[in-house]
Amino acid sequence: MLAGLENRIRSSKKKKILVVLHQSGSHGPSYYSKYPIQHEKFMPVCQSVELHQCTKQELVNAYDNTILYTYYFWLKRLLC
């Protein structure tokens, strides 16, 4: 997502630059699709967009995995 961004900013002739970053984040109902499987730490998870087919705990676990991955995603980029 950020590959080449620093170079583009440094090479710009403009005094002001607006950078907008957008990540899909933790919006449902397909929480399970918002993070890579290797970041699935809370299980079991709801793997349906039909939320009434899932238990409350499966929904919470899937949502918590999205939060965990969002933290990982941004920390990885901010600390590099």
Indicate the pTM of the whole model.
0.73
Domain extent for 58: 5-78
CA dist 13 and 15 (Å) reads: 7
Confidence at residue 57, expressed as pLDDT on a 0 to 100 scale: 98
Task: Please report the DSSP string for 1-63 in residue order.
Answer: --TTHHHHHHH---S---------TT-SS-GGGSS-GGG--S-S----S-GGGS-HHHHHHHH
Q: Which residues of the chain have pLDDT under 70?
A: 1, 80
Query: Which residue shows structure tokens 């967009």?
Result: 49
What's the confidence (pLDDT) of residue 1? 57
CA atoms in the 13 A half-sphere facing the CB of 29: 10
Tens of pLDDT, residue by residue over 11-23, are 999 989 998 877 7
The confidence score (pLDDT) of residue 35 equals 93
Please tell me the predicted confidence (pLDDT) of residue 75.
Answer: 87
Instruction: Tell which residue, 35, 40, 38, 16, has the closest CA to residue 25.
Output: 35
What is the total count of domains within the chain?
Answer: 1
